[in-house]
Amino acid sequence: MQTISKKDIPEELTVTIEKLSNLGLGIAKIDGYVIFIEGACPGDTARIRIGKKNKNYAFAKVLEVIKPSDHRTTPFCPMQKICGACQLQFIDYDYQLELKKEIVIDTMHSICGNDNIEVRDVIPSPQTKEYRHKIQYPVSETKDSKRILAGYYRQNSHEIVNIKYCPVQPAYCDEIIEFIRRKASECKVSGYTEKIHTGDLRHIVIRTSQYNNKSLVILVMNSKKLLDKYKLLAEKIFTELENIAGVGINYNDNKTNLILGEKTEILFGDDYIEEKLCDKIFKIGAKTFFQVNPSSADNIFKYIKEYIHKNYKSPVILDAYAGITAFGISLADIAQKVVSVEEVKESVSLAKEIAKENGLANLEINHMDAGKFFEQEVQNGRRYDITILDPPRKGCSRESLDYALKLTKSDIIYVSCNPATLARDLKYLMEKGCKAEFIQPFDMFPHTYHIENVAILHIGN
């Protein structure tokens, strides 16, 4: 029972960090009052300064680590405390994996209300450096010198940290970004000023291949049309840098936090890069959803394939929210038939190209909203041995989950990057009679609090 109110919490105090929250903040308690602490590791004894207070909890920052946790380590990136991208880099990697498992268990308990779901040990990322193969840097410029700034946002702000070196992405991405900084000024392309919605270059988006080191570079411009200076900058990137697969312009002049606008125009080279997973070559476009960590993604695909191969003989599989149908294409050689559905046209077009190049006659690819497709399939009476759900971070609607139950004979395999929405959806499916066999976490995002999960659910009908 709470015995202390927020007005009784001093501005500075010494606490011991008990655990980690699902957003990567250390947690300490004073007589039941919860304090979320940025930059704290479980086991630390630290002097902290209280910031915003609420009725039942407060936020704080570490002023001094008096006694460090045995798991605290020196970050390998000098910008870790400033940049908001790698929240857990000061914690040793093996302990990060333990903490992420605890996050999944705690989330299942608090949201799903079920302590009986087996959460397995986290499968680590094969790479903990240079693993991130999708880069999205916001761009601005200095007020007086007009020098281009590009990097990640400082924690809890929209202030850009000008990143010259990022050890969690391939080194040549740093070279591409630095080249664009210099050449943008030469081409009279200005950086974007968010507060007054002026300037040219809003974001730099790079999709880069672990398979062949090729990169697709997209310049997001605050414009509706192509200007000569944009084309000149794109041409310099394509002709003066090595291993550039293609360069394009995305037009986004809306006052929005969305990075990409509706229209993308490839000016030089290809509109995709290639990546290899499960011995298949995939094509990834500017707007294509694809995991940022190919090595860890390969682990997930192989894990699901092995599970299905061990438990089924020539199943009929539904691949929903399919993106470029990566699951469907990877599983086609152990399935009687695979049917996929995806609403992004670009992803569907790339998936059809890949399927054709691989000669996959047992793969049916549908361009449609998943919910509408589910409804259509129920009306048509078609059912599947296995349904793979890989929805966006917001999870599935209840209507979609109801349809998945009607369409599936045996197993639902739910792939999620958000433990909270996974827990919510598992709770609903279990209330409808499903049994959650287990959850297998994978570390897709080393040094962050994010965790990817594969949940296996069995339908009892």
The residues carrying an active-site annotation are 417
Contacts of residue 349, Cβ cutoff 8 Å, sequence gap at least 6: none
The residue with tokens 């049917």 is 339
- Phi-psi label, residue 24: left if phi above 0, alpha if psi -120 to 50, beta otherwise: left
DSSP 369: -
The total of other beta-carbon atoms located within 10 Å of residue 343's CB is 16
Burial of 262 (0-12, 13-18, 19+ CB in 10 A): exposed
How far apart (Å, rounded) are the C-alpha atoms in residues 249 and 252?
10
Nearest to 208 by CA among 178, 170, 152: 170
DSSP 347: H
DSSP characters over 289-328: ---S-HHHHHHHHHHHHHHHHHH-SS-EEEEES-TTTHHH
Residue type, 456: I
Nearest to 389 by CA among 315, 332, 304: 304
How far apart (Å, rounded) are the C-alpha atoms in residues 248 and 227?
13
DSSP 100: H
How far apart (Å, rounded) are the C-alpha atoms in residues 40 and 27?
8
SS3 374: helix
How far apart (Å, rounded) are the C-alpha atoms in residues 154 and 278?
37
Long-range contacts of 94-101 (CB under 8 A, 24+ apart): 95/71, 96/443, 96/446, 96/447, 97/121, 97/122, 97/124, 97/443, 98/122, 99/19, 99/20, 99/42, 100/441, 100/443, 100/449, 100/451, 101/441
